[in-house]
Amino acid sequence: MAIKITYFVHGTTTDNERRLSTGQAPGKLSKLGIKQSIELKEQIKDKEFDVIFSSDLKRAVDSVNLSFDDMDIPKLQDKRLRECDYGDLTGTEEVDYINYIDKKFPNGESMKDVEKRIKEFLDFLKENYDGKRIAIMAHKASQLAIEVIINKKTWEQAIEEDWRKTKEWKPGWEYILK
């Protein structure tokens, strides 16, 4: 069988609005992020999920609580879904992933480290949720890693084709995990 994943990105944060990199800091939804999360609830009301997983970082958990509060499904947090650890660059101006595919952020992770975490999480889903419909609420690096793993993109492709660059946001990206 296969697992149907719908991937959601947390609402806009106060750091996003200031063009700062939050990394693995908790982050706080901005007024816009709260509005986006509430609006997402309406956009996904007809979708069915067996479970929602989120990063354990505050901005993702808060987005889940606002977007999925009406759905009577398990809401589980998993630290493997965290944003990339930017190390010393956390809280600084926006980082460019292209420079850190193999090289770690100073005192942080590389994109390949994120890929390893997400691969472990996807393997966990295969072992425990075969045939299920899974929602994920997380971050940019985690989604790019899924693009690399499931859609077989290179990191360079995933970064270049990212919806944040093309401005093609949508209420959930669909992936099939086999």
Catalytic residue among 10, 109, 115, 147: 10
Q: Is 83 a catalytic residue?
A: yes
Phi (first) and psi of residue 13, to 5 degrees: -105, 170
Q: What distance in Å separates the CA atoms of residue 153 and residue 146, rounded to the nearest whole number?
A: 9
The DSSP line for 9-63 is EPPPBHHHHTTB--TTS---B-HHHHHHHHHHHHHTTT---SEEEE-SSHHHHHH
| Alpha-carbon distances, residue 153 vs 29, 148, 156 (angstroms) | 30, 4, 8
Q: Is 139 a catalytic residue?
A: no
Name which of 155, 164, 168, 91 is nearest 118 in CA terms. 155
Q: Classify 64 as helix, strand or coil.
A: helix
Residue 156: strand pairing partners = none
Catalytic residue among 83, 109, 115, 147: 83
Positions marked active-site: 10, 83
